[in-house]
């Protein structure tokens, strides 16, 4: 058997180097496989990239982490730490396999969440669990029967948080490297095996980052982001139980601050707007920064630097305070509120009563109002009917209508009908008519056409008013 304690530096370097080399060499080999299996991401309106980029980079990440760690487990003395690490690898493999399938065939969100939950439950019964939580105001909370749901929830949150930030080249990998650094600091008085795991994580991700750095030639895909999230979540539980001065779950929360905050914003805005939680959008933190005019490399540098500074602040607080949890919690809350204001996820200027009334509406109504607000904002720049057409067609598609007919009757002018869409066979759709009002008088009508069987009475008026206003604004300037 290898005596790790006597030869720790050599073996730490060799295993970390192996992880780096495996990721560096395996990643380009995965690219042709991804193209062959059609596991690719195509640039779209909500994507941060253009062109066709292969996924399945998670295969290289999986191999880079698992091969060195399994070798370490097989050649080192038996220990409880190794048993729990092996349980993370076994349960994480299930998540990895599901991620590979999703990259190729695309699985429903509910199915992925179900399998992730099953893997988290498996990890719990293999002995890796959250038994206590530190109270930020002093003392600790024994979870007892809540241990299982809290453990599963923590793993699901981190899995999907890492998955959400994998929308910008290098962001998920860079964040994983920082988390690996925090896990290394959390290992306290550590054996070589305990020091090795975060180093292998960081080294493997560095090797992958060589190909994922903007402009990326490959994405990690769900196979990589879900497995990485699961592995990091499980490792954070393992190292929280090993920590000495930092024996608290608040420190790993800070380590995952950026992905957790991004996921929190996503949940809040989708609930507020009535958007399904599983529906993707282009309003993550990195999207907001890109929309401000920053390049992908600069956005990556800003987010990684911000996360590193947050971790450094957490480390300094822990080192100088015996009761650090309250300060860490306050730091995260302040960062969350500041970010929500900076990126305009929450409009603080709106009266509370108005926000409350929006939340009281049904989900379909909230979603329609959100789409209409977006349409009004983007259509304001249109200078002609042709400029307006793509915006109206997108609004029709998003709200489920098939066509819209705007008929205008101005004094001294011949009646004018403007049609958008109109793919339905005549007589097969449900037509709803609304008056077009201008300066207190009726100047025409707006007819919305929906497919038969669609109940559109709740939101049709909002859509018709938005389309009519946009058309009138363009006709007035032409």
Q: Break the chain into its structural domains and give their ranges.
A: 8-342, 365-477
Separation CA 309–CA 254 (nearest Å): 11
Measure CA 408 to chain center: 45
- The list of the chain residues with pLDDT below 70 reads 1-11, 43-51, 134-140, 186-190, 241-253, 255, 270-281, 314-364, 412, 422-429, 440, 452-458, 476-478
* Cα angle, residue 441 at apex, residues 440 and 443 outer, rounded to 5°: 135
pLDDT at 5: 47
pLDDT at 136: 57
pLDDT at 319: 62
| 75, 196 Cβ separation under 8 angstroms | no
Q: Which of the following CATH numbers is that of domain 365-477: 3.90.1200.10, 3.40.50.620, 3.30.450.40, 3.40.1260.10?
A: 3.30.450.40
C-alpha torsion angle, residues 315, 317, 323, 325 (rounded to 10):
-70
pLDDT at 124: 94
Helix residue ranges per DSSP H, 80-191: 80-105, 109-125, 147-165, 171-186
Phi, psi at 442, each rounded to 5°: -85, 125
pLDDT at 148: 93
Overall pTM > 0.75: no
Separation CA 396–CA 466 (nearest Å): 11
pLDDT at 416: 81
pLDDT at 219: 93
Q: How many helical (H) and strand (E) elements, i.e. helices and strands, does the chain have?
A: 17, 8
Separation CA 328–CA 310 (nearest Å): 10
Phi, psi at 320, each rounded to 5°: -105, -10
pLDDT at 118: 96
């Amino acid at each position: 058997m290898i005596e790790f304690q006597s030869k720790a530096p050599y073996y730490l370097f060799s295993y970390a180097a192996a992880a780096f080399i495996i990721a560096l060499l395996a990643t380009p080999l995965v690219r042709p496989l991804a193209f062959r299996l059609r596991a690719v991401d195509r640039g779209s309106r909500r994507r941060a990239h253009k062109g066709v980029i292969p996924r399945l980079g998670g295969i290289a990440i999986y191999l880079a982490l698992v091969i060195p760690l399994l070798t370490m487990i097989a050649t080192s003395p038996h220990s409880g730490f190794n048993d729990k690490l092996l349980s993370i690898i076994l349960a994480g493999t299930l998540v990895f396999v599901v991620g590979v399938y999703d990259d190729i065939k695309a699985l429903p969100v509910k199915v992925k969440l179900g399998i992730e939950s099953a893997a988290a439950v498996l990890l719990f019964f293999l002995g890796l669990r959250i038994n206590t939580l530190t109270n930020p105001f002093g003392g600790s909370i024994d979870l007892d029967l809540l241990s299982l749901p809290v453990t599963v929830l923590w793993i699901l949150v981190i899995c999907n948080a890492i998955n959400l930030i994998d929308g910008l080249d290098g962001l998920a990998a860079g964040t994983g490297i920082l988390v690996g650094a925090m896990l290394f600091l959390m290992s306290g008085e550590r054996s070589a095996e305990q020091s090795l795991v975060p180093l292998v994580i960081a080294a493997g991700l560095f090797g992958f980052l060589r190909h994922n750095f903007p402009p990326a030639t490959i994405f990690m895909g769900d196979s990589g982001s879900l497995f990485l999230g699961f592995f990091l979540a499980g490792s954070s539980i393992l190292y929280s139980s090993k920590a000495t001065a930092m024996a608290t779950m608040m420190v790993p929360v800070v380590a995952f601050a950026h992905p957790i905050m991004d996921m929190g914003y996503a949940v809040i805005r989708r609930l507020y707007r009535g958007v399904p939680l599983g529906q993707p959008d282009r309003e993550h933190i990195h999207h907001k920064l890109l929309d401000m005019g920053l390049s992908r490399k600069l956005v990556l540098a800003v987010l990684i630097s911000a996360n590193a500074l947050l971790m450094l602040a957490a480390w300094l607080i822990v080192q100088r305070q015996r009761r650090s949890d309250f300060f860490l919690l306050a730091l995260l809350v302040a960062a969350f509120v500041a970010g929500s204001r900076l990126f305009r996820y929450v409009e603080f200027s709106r009266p509370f009563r108005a926000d409350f009334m929006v939340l009281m509406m049904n989900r379909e109504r909230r979603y329609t109002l959100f789409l209409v607000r977006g349409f009004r904002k983007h259509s304001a720049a249109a200078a002609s009917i042709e400029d307006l057409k793509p915006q109206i067609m997108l609004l029709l598609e998003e709200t489920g209508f098939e066509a819209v007919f705007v008929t205008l009757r101005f004094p001294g002018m011949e009646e004018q009908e403007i049609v958008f869409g109109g793919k339905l066979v005549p007589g097969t759709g449900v037509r709803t008519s609304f008056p077009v009002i201008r300066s207190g008088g009726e100047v025409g009508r707006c007819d919305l056409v929906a497919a038969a069987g669609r109940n559109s009475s709740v939101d049709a008026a909002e859509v018709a008013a938005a389309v009519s206003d946009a058309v009138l604004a363009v006709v007035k300037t032409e």
